[in-house]
Structure 1
């Protein structure tokens, strides 16, 4: 089971309304033999690590009484593969950060690496998410509480 941990960026987060990126949230995801192809992690798995880490982030940020977990659909995704993660690595770390929150969408970045590959990511995934109603066709505006949670400033939401 993946274990979420918070990663301190060393700086205090900026206020939610400034448009500055949110705090970095680190999770760890154990690797399975099926994650590998040949002697390295399959490239397709990087997208799945990104999605799994975003889901853990959402559970932590929105799983509180009275909170509405926004339905969000991936609109656009780009993966920058920088180097491989070799066979035998027990887990990957995934840093999740909200880069920008707009009116109906937000951009998240997940940086993926492992202890054995060092502090620099092996892949960086940028994803634009669009918030929708339950019908998944009607876009919704992101409210101030959701904006604060996405940027890591729940205490400033009201």
Structure 2
């Protein structure tokens, strides 16, 4: 039986300046919340295997806005998990919940491992695959 998958979680404070004229957190700011959580996830995962996170770039990203977040929401929780792990790419799922546990937004980011010097994609290293694999959903028994 395989070990259950992990889900990374962090809290992000909703800032007064994040709101639009309607009093809702602007959609672009919600995407920034996803972008704030992602490097924290990658750094913590790399630290867990005593390595530095390798470079990766966003190839594609989508977001779904399900429920308003307001300036009075306080702190939101962003969870990050891995939904796909390929040879040189991986897809991260982000979910934002308010203080009451309501899902307010979600988004997927297709990430590509990147060789900064050659300016092109590269295969994921074994330590990267090991860390990311811990956040993949456990396979269902056949």
TM-score interval (norm. to shorter): 0.7 to 0.9
Superposed CA deviations along residues 83-141 of structure 1, whole A, max 9, x for unmatched, are: 111231111110111111100000001001211xx334111110000101123622111
Closer, same or farther in 2 for the Cα pair 1:60/1:66, shift >3 Å? closer
User: Aligned match of 2:86 in 102, 105, 111?
Assistant: 102
Q: Whole-Å Cα distance in 2 between the matches of residues 66 and 48 of structure 1?
A: 27
Q: Which residue of 2 aligns with 1:143?
A: 125
Tell me the SS of whatever aligns to 1:79.
strand
Note the residue ranges of structure 2 that are not aligned, 5 or more in a row. Answer: 136-142
1:73 corresponds to 2:65 = no
- C-alpha contact (below 8 Å) 1:72/1:132 kept by paired residues: yes
Q: Aligned residue pairs: how many?
A: 133
Note the residue ranges of structure 1 that are not aligned, 5 or more in a row. Answer: 1-10, 14-21, 154-158
Closer, same or farther in 2 for the Cα pair 1:65/1:147, shift >3 Å? closer
Q: Which residue of 1 aligns with 2:8?
A: 25
CA shift, 1:64, in A, is: 5.6
TM-score, normalisation: structure 2: 0.84
Q: Whole-Å Cα distance in 1 between the matches of residues 28 and 108 of structure 2?
A: 15
Closer, same or farther in 2 for the Cα pair 1:105/1:65, shift >3 Å? closer
Q: Which residue of 2 aligns with 1:126?
A: 108
RMSD: 2.0
Closer, same or farther in 2 for the Cα pair 1:148/1:47, shift >3 Å? same
Q: Whole-Å Cα distance in 1 between the matches of residues 125 and 110 of structure 2?
A: 17
- C-alpha contact (below 8 Å) 1:103/1:142 kept by paired residues: yes
Superposed CA deviations along residues 37-92 of structure 1, whole A, max 9, x for unmatched, are: 12111110111111110111111111367524111110001111111112311111
